[in-house]
Chains A and B, each alone.
Chain A
Amino acid sequence: MSDWLALVPKLLDGWVMTLRLLGVAIPLGLVVGVAVALARIYGPFPLRAIAAVYQSVLRGIPLIVQLFVLYYVLPRANLLLSPFIAATVGFGLCSGAYHSEYIRSAISSIPRGQMDAARALGMSRSQAVRTVILPQAFRRAVPGCGNELVYLVKYSSLAYLVTLVDLTGAGRLAASASFRFFETFLVVGLIYLLMVACVEAALHVLQRRWKRSGVGVGA
């Protein structure tokens, strides 16, 4: 047991790197997700089509291929991204595609009457979207987007494949140095599990605090 705990300090720097990656990628993903969802529902035709293609492509290709394109292919076009930037941009863009699907279906599930009523009260379209539609849609999107956040925590482990020493990378180094693969990767996995549990707990709190009587949260 004490041997296992002794592993944790060796993994600490990697853990911090994973948290930094998530700290950038999570907000980026949410912003992209909202933007793509809005473009798909309210955008003019070309924008709607582009958003649909974006969703299909980023959700239909493995994240690791996307990271390799950002990290290995873009330099060919004279666009050199550092591993950290490549990883966070890759996570954010991909996560955004999944978020956008949850947010889009949440927006479409809001009854039409809401928009009509807001317009009848004299609100502009964008005002109505901002103050009437989105606050309700976000509440309905929490379960789906929450799932995506859990996935992102786990898939942040791919950063190790574009040379970053994140939690998985640190685990790989520690395991190769000690030849204790099973214990090391078990501890690494348990740390991911801990982060996933934290995200789920945070989502629970968010759902409770966002609860309004009559508005279905996670219904």
Chain B
Amino acid sequence: MSDLVRILPLLMQGAAVTLLLLACSLAVGFVLGIPIGVLHVFGPGPVRWGLRGFDLVMRGFPAIVLLFLIYFGLGGIQGVHLSSLQAAVLALGLRSAAYQGQLVRGTIGMVEQGQLEAARALGMSLPTALRSVVLPQALRHALPSLGNEYSIVLKDTALAFTVGVLEMMSRAQFLAMSTRKITLVYIAVAVIYWGLTQAGLLGFHAIERGVRVPGMGTGDNP
């Protein structure tokens, strides 16, 4: 018990960095994912082709290879200065952007074609119609999968220690070596990650309930 009291504060400091990394990566993924999803559907040919290439790399390379590619590869180029945390946010954020872009693209397809046509017929421009008619519906459809994306990115942050980010796993490794309480440390880490996953999923369920619109969603739409 006293061992646990000794290791928990350090693990919690790590957990704070883990959450920071998670929040930044998800935010980068969300902010870039929406335009990427829209451009997948409505972009001109060359842009769509470019996105296909981006997608292939971001979704086809292992997370750890992306981390190395950006931290050691990009960071090694003359004049580029990337801290561990910046490199990790860039790698996990761009990767999440590719996945979230695919999500948005898929859920735009779930919104009936007639919705866009009706909005255009009312005189809305394409961007306005997307912003005020299509995306509000598409993003609600995407919410359950975004909850999944949260838990995937959370688990991927545990790889950031390989490029030197001082998140929970790196604290755990340090504690495991310095205190020799290997079992206790890794069980504690496992419990914390599990708790964060469950808490996040509950949070996303709450958001889903909060933004629910009567008459739209489960059952009525394809």
Instruction: Name A's B-contacting residues (CB within 8 A).
Output: 56-57, 59-66, 68-69, 72-73, 76, 154-158, 160-161, 168, 171-172, 175, 179, 181-182, 185-186, 188-189, 192-193, 196-197
The stretch of B55-63, B105-113, B203-211 in contact with A is B55-63
Q: Which B positions have Cβ atoms within 8 angstroms of A?
A: 56-57, 60-66, 68-69, 72-74, 76-77, 151, 154-159, 162, 169, 172, 176, 182-183, 186-187, 189-190, 193-194, 197-198
Inter-chain contact B65/A192, CB cutoff 8 Å: yes
Q: Provide the residues of chain A in CB contact with B154, threshold 8 Å.
A: 62
**Nearest Cβ on chain A to B90's Cβ, whole angstroms:** 14
Find out whether the CB atom of A60 lies under 8 angstroms from the CB atom of B193: yes
Q: Please give the distance in Å from B64's CB to the nearest CB on chain A.
A: 5
Question: Are the C-beta atoms of B76 and A182 separated by less than 8 Å?
Answer: yes
Which 6 pairs show the lowest CB-CB distances between chains A and B? A182-B73, A62-B158, A181-B72, A189-B61, A193-B60, A157-B62
B57's contact among A64, A73, A160, A193, by CB below 8 Å, is which? A193
Q: Is the CB of A154 within 8 A of B61?
A: yes
User: Does the CB pair A185–B193 fall under 8 Å?
Assistant: no
Question: Which has the most chain A C-beta neighbours within 10 Å: B64, B66, B151, B158?
Answer: B64
State the Cβ distance, A90 to closest chain B Cβ, in Å: 13
The answer to whether B183 and A192 touch across the interface, beta carbons within 8 angstroms, is no
Number of A-B contacts defined by CB within 8 Å:
110
Chain A to chain B contacts (Cβ below 8 Å), 9 pairs: A62-B156, A66-B190, A69-B186, A76-B182, A157-B62, A158-B159, A181-B76, A182-B73, A193-B56
- Interchain CB contact (< 8 A) of B64 among A73, A76, A168, A186: A168
The complex places the Cα of A186 from the Cα of B62 at a distance, in Å, of 11
Establish whether residues B62 and A65, one from each chain, have CB atoms under 8 Å apart when the complex forms: no
Question: Do most interface residues of chain A lie in helix, strand or loop, or is the interface mixed?
Answer: helix
The residue of chain B having its C-beta at the shortest distance from the C-beta of A157 within the complex is B62
Q: B65 — which chain A residues lie within 8 A by C-beta? A: 157, 168, 171, 185, 188-189, 192
- The answer on a CB contact under 8 Å between B72 and A175 is yes
Which chain A residue shows the least CB distance to B193? A61
A181, B74: Cα distance in complex, Å: 9
Known A-B contacts A60-B151, A65-B190; the reply to A193 vs B158 at CB < 8 A is no
CA distance A93 to B24 in the complex (A): 30
The residue from A73, A182, A192 contacting B186, defined by CB atoms under 8 A apart: A73
**Across the two chains, which residue of chain B brings its CB closest to A63?**
B155
Enumerate chain B residues within 8 angstroms of A57, measured Cβ to Cβ. 190, 194
A168 near B62 with CB under 8 A, answer: yes
Q: Are A61 and B194 in contact (CB under 8 A)?
A: yes
Q: Tell whether A185 pairs with B186 under 8 Å between CB atoms, given A60-B151, A192-B60.
A: no
**CB contact under 8 A between A189 and B194, given known A64-B169, A76-B182:** no
Chain B residues within an 8 Å CB radius of A185: 65, 68-69, 72-73
Residue from A62, A65, A69, A193 with most neighbouring chain B CB atoms (10 Å) = A62
